[in-house]
Every structure is written in C-alpha cells, then in structure tokens.
Structure 1
C-alpha cells in the first residue's frame, strides 16, 4: 500500500535493518500501520459525526434549560425557540451512538434521553392545551440531569484519528463493554501507546543509539508523529 510517507518509512526501515533492529517488530508495525491508515477515513467519519451530534445535544440542552428557567414569562418568541429546540433534540435521538462514545447499550443515558424527549413533547402539548398536566418542573430536572451526563461524556481531550482507527481496526469491540466514555478513551490511548507506539519507538531508539546519535527518543517520537498525523 502506497502512503504519503512512503519515502520516510522506507528510509527508516532501511536504517533500522542496517542497525540490526528486530525485523519482526518492524514488519508487524508496518503491516499494522498500513491497515490502520487504510481504514482511517472511513472510521473517523462516524466517530466525528457522533461527537459533533453530542456537542449539538449539549448546546441544545443548555439552551432548553435556559428557556425553561424563564417559563413563567412565556412568549411567542420563547414558544418558537422551545419548539425548535425539542425538534432538534428529537431529530438527534439515536444519532449520537458510537462504539467509542455513548453506544446503544448505554441504558442510563439512552433512557434519560428518551424520557426527556417524551416529557418535552408533553409539555409542548400543555402549552397549547392547558387541560394537560404541567410537567415543567420534572422536565427541567430531566434536562439538567441529561445535560450534566452529556457534559461528562464529552471529554476535554479528543482521541487522534490514528488512535481511533488503530483500535477499531485491530482490537475487539467487546473490550469496551461496560466502560464509561472516559474509560473507553483511556483504554484506546493506552492500547495505542503500548501496542502501536511502544515497540517501534524502541527499535528506532535502538537504531539511533547504535549509530551514537543524540536525542534518540525525541527523534523516534518525531518520526512517529510525522507518519501518523
């Protein structure tokens, strides 16, 4: 498979072979690298879209919480804003699933989301038909809880495209079962560092040290960062 960094990889491979580095590690890494690169674009699309949708949900919930905070001073403008928000959130229902984020098996989040949508629709009915029950207090509580839960699942640090692709291309999804989003991302990063970065970094360092070059570790990391960007 031809890659953007063929020349750099071939040059490094030749240098490592000349320095008596472990050929089995080098060959295994190149095979894994090419597999990860081949699948990357396809795998990243679904991950990125799910992440975008979660951010949209968080922002929508934040705005909905604000609208509900001022519900005693309702107006046609707020009514329109409310309808637009619940329509948007309903449209994103089940559109945030991803194996590395919140998936379809996350009963806690999914049940809360569905419950919030149901209450929001009932409250909309109440606004236009006062004979219905006013569940706004319960709805606001559900919105607040779901917003907090969504924010918890939107971790500050994103996984790199290569981390995502490496894990999904080479590991079993079953390893993620029962983990929170934070735990999933920690696992993906750890597996990537230990299984993908670690072995080849060690061989590159060995090559530089064999040739008495300074800054072996920094140079090794620079090469890896270059070809996985």
Structure 2
C-alpha cells in the first residue's frame, strides 16, 4: 500500500467515529461526544450544509462540550451555509460563550450569510453582545453582502440607543448600501421617527438619492416626509420619552375631568 494512504478499515472507522461525534453533538450528549473524540473522530466533521459539532454545541448552549471540542482543536472559524459558531453564540445571546470562542482565535469580523457577528448582534438588539464584540475588535464600518453598515442595521433594529451608539462610532452616517440607501432612507421607510431625529441631529445629508433617484424624504410616510424635507442645517430635535408620554396622557385625562 502506498505511503500516506490509510487502509479501508481505518478510513471506515474514522468516518464512523466522526459521524458518531456529529450525532452526539446534535443530540447534545457530552459523554458520547467525548467517547467519539477519544476514539479518533474528526472534530471538524460537518454535514452537507457545513454544520460542525462545535456549531451545534454552541447552538445548544453546551459550554462543557464547546470546551471539549476546542481542546481537541475544533476550528472556531468554519462557516456553514448560513452560520458559524461565533454567529450562533450571538444569536443565543451567550456573551460568555462568545468570549470563549473569540479567545480560541475566533475571527470577530468573520462573515457568514453576508453578515458579521456584530451585524447580527445589532439586528437582534443585543446590547450586551454588541459591547463584547466592539471591545474585542468588531469593525462597525464593515459592510454586509448588501452593503449595509452597522448603522444601517441599528436603524433596522429600531432602538434609539443603538442608533445613537453607531451614529458616532461607525463613521458611516451617509454611507449607501447596494441600493443606494443611506441610514436616513431606511429610517424614513420604517417610519422610525426617533432614528430620523438622531440621524438629522448628527448631520445626515437629506439630499442623497438612492438607486431609484429617491431622496430620504420621498421614502417615508407624511410625518417622515415633513420632518426630513423641512429640515435645515443646525436644527435639533428632542425625543419624547416614556415618562413624557405618560405625563401627556395624564394631562389629557385631567383635562377631561375638568370639563365634566
């Protein structure tokens, strides 16, 4: 037999043990996974979609199995058809496990399904996970497959605090995605008045046209249209807080009582 080529029985055993490891990870059974690794399983074995035992362990929030696989040299940066161990740690909002993966040479800016872990964390509005990723070197200027920046994703998520975080740190206030849309276009489309206020207060350009020649003011409903089209440089907008809304509601009730 030629040097370097394993006998058929050895190859069959390796495939079998690797399959056993995948099944154990899928079933979330630590003891079976440990036995398969001890027997020589390939820790980076994957199904047809590229899903590895490590990705499954992260998805199942099994920190013990994750540590076992990492100790056996599982590759943190292997990407499946639509995810990766890092992206799954973000989706399950497991900041501690995410830190473990990043500490095992995980690429904080790894792209999967056209998005970085930071893009996913912002989209899910997981502030604690966003903070971990930024602290570990997540790039807020990195674009997704469709040209969206962190600020685009923050506007899509709709949380004002998240928009405020990235309006200053991303350096992409007027950046356009592949459809020519700036964050202000997106905010107008979604009717997100708070996001529009944040963007305008930060100096967003109201005259950028998208691929179809539309201004941000032409992408929204009447409130967004008026706010953007009537905006002048230097104008600042205040935000209505939950307490303000509660006070306004109470005032309306008191006024009704006085009229009776």
What TM-score, normalized to structure 1? 0.22
Q: Comparing both chains, which one has the higher relative contact order based on Cα–Cα distances under 8 Å and sequence gaps of 6 or more?
A: 1
What TM-score, normalized to structure 2? 0.20
- Pick the structure with more helix per residue: 1
